[in-house]
Amino acid sequence: MKRITILINCNDKQGIIASVTTFIQQQSGNIVYIDQHVDREDSMFFMRLECEFSKEIFSVENFKQSFSTTIATNFEMNWHLYDSDKKPKMALFVSKYDHCLYDILSRYSSNEMEVEIPLIISNHPDLEPIANNFNIPYYYIKVTKETKEAAEDLQLKLLKEFEVDFIVLARYMQILSSKLIQDYTNKIINIHHSFLPAFPGAKPYHSAYKRGVKIIGATSHYVTEDLDEGPIIEQDITRVTHTNTIADFILKGKDLEKIVLSRAIKLHTKRKVMVYKNKTVVFI
């Protein structure tokens, strides 16, 4: 069977679900999952469908063409069709911390993640041995104030060359340029080490310690030009006490960061996340 995932977003109107599901039935498709959401404030409709078709008779191109000129046009839809046979290509950006990198690569090596990882880019050489152990090309691109622009051009060139679909900042300690963010809108996933919107910016564990909070958190979000203000994909927290030092906060936080980031990556690769008004609809 051929499996496809369709994401739909449009103004809410009567009859969308019936139209779409009937269309798929007419194409001899079987709906495996259907998820739907309506933002009542804005009358905005969201849908995610996973459908199966017989491989012999199904053509993705014909389906797209037909869907596009009928239903999608009628309801003025934003929509995407993803072929489940094609694994998305994910670039990893890292600096010196290795916990998220190890976590992602060990999942990758046990086929837990439905992605390809064509390359790792870093502004430091430190983690290259880990990349080597997992046989993934590692590009050390130094970033200084002077070289930042050239570095980003090189990064972009590599991303295009490897046909990267989305980027994961696995504790990459650099702020990306507007150009990169615009080229990969809602396709750059960051992990921030606080339960946003608390403690944005640098050194959140230090701020959390100073404020005397009883819970710390981690937040995975899409990167936008406003630092740490992009649409939140996933968050989680853990408890801390007065006995915990900043070093303890950092250690506990590492466990959160890697789990939360991996969850966000999985949601993204399964096409379960839709972005709207700087928020996410996450179908689970």
Q: How far is the CB of 10 from its own copies (least distance, A)?
A: 15
Amino acid at 29: G
Could you give the CA distance from residue 165 to residue 15 in angstroms, rounded to a whole number? 33
CA torsion sign, 5 to 53 to 15 to 62? positive
Q: How far is the CB of 5 from its own copies (least distance, A)?
A: 15
Residue numbers at the binding site for its own copies (CB under 8 A): 14-15, 17-18, 21-22, 24-25, 30-34, 36-38, 40, 98-99, 102-103, 106-107, 109-110, 112, 133, 195-199, 211-215, 217, 231-237, 241-243, 245, 251, 254-255, 259, 262, 277-282, 284
Say if residue 125 is preceded by a cis peptide, omega within 30 of 0.
no
Residue closer to its own copies, measured from CB, 103 or 152: 103
Residue closer to its own copies, measured from CB, 159 or 281: 281
Query: Which pair of structure tokens corresponds to residue 281?
Result: 């609809």
Say which of 228, 236, 248, 255 is annotated catalytic: 228
Distances (CA, A) of 281 to 8, 35, 63, 268, 269: 12, 11, 25, 11, 14
Q: Which of 49, 44, 51 is nearest to 9 (CA)?
A: 44
Could you give the CA distance from residue 236 to residue 259 in angstroms, rounded to a whole number? 9
Residue closer to its own copies, measured from CB, 26 or 144: 26
Could you give the CA distance from residue 4 to residue 114 in angstroms, rounded to a whole number? 14
Q: How far is the CB of 77 from its own copies (least distance, A)?
A: 17
Q: How far is the CB of 139 from its own copies (least distance, A)?
A: 21
Residue closer to its own copies, measured from CB, 18 or 163: 18
Q: How far is the CB of 29 from its own copies (least distance, A)?
A: 8
- The DSSP annotation for 163-215 comes to T--EEEESS--SPPPHHHHHHTTT-EEEEESSSTTSS-SS-HHHHHHHHT-SE
Is 228 in the active site?
yes
Residue closer to its own copies, measured from CB, 183 or 255: 255
Task: Supply the residues annotated as catalytic.
Answer: 228
